[in-house]
Structure 1
Amino acid sequence: MRTALIYALAALAEIAGCFAAWAWWRLGASPLWLLPGGLSLAAFAGLLTLSPAELAGRAFAAYGGVYIVASLVWMWAVEGRPPDRWDLAGAGLCLGGAGVILFGARG
């Protein structure tokens, strides 16, 4: 449960930080958006170090599945576009893969 919370918070921080840059660059928002965006990205990096994975690459790979799901939630909640069945199918596959990477039995 702790791992899911860490990855969910990391995803929120990363997406918010990246969206701040997107808003500035693509939507014409004030450059001041980059300040909280940068802080959010720093929080993302710090949160990801709390992953229980013993290797950074494994933590990052497993996080990728959570990021994909969180990105689709962001698309729906913030951008107003619900995911379609293909988005949901792909997200399910990615989340399953993340679980295998993070929790798979190793010798």
Structure 2
Amino acid sequence: MERFDVTIGTAVEFLRGTWPELQEVRFEIGALPPSPDTTGIPRWHIDREGRRIVLFRIPIERLLPPGHDDAMHRRIAIESAVFRAAAEYVGKDPWEFGPDQG
């Protein structure tokens, strides 16, 4: 669980340094979403009114493809979820979060 928190913190620091619109957004960690939606089990929840993004640890870490359940793939899955959730929040493509893309 500690690695999960550290990985999220590092990704969030990078994003906040790159995209000022994320400075006031709270990134929170939840264990599980309240319930599955029609497209599956959500990895995060966006609350624009509350200016927060909740990342769900168990779906992010546990729903990896077979053969990809090791430390490196878990880290990639966590970082990917942070980037994709932040991109959804600001209405951009995750690939736009590079330092030269702003």
- What TM-score, normalized by structure 1, do the two folds share? 0.31
TM-score normalized with structure 2 length: 0.32
- Structure index of larger Rg: 1
Question: 1 or 2, which has the higher strand percentage?
Answer: 2
Larger helix proportion of the pair = 1
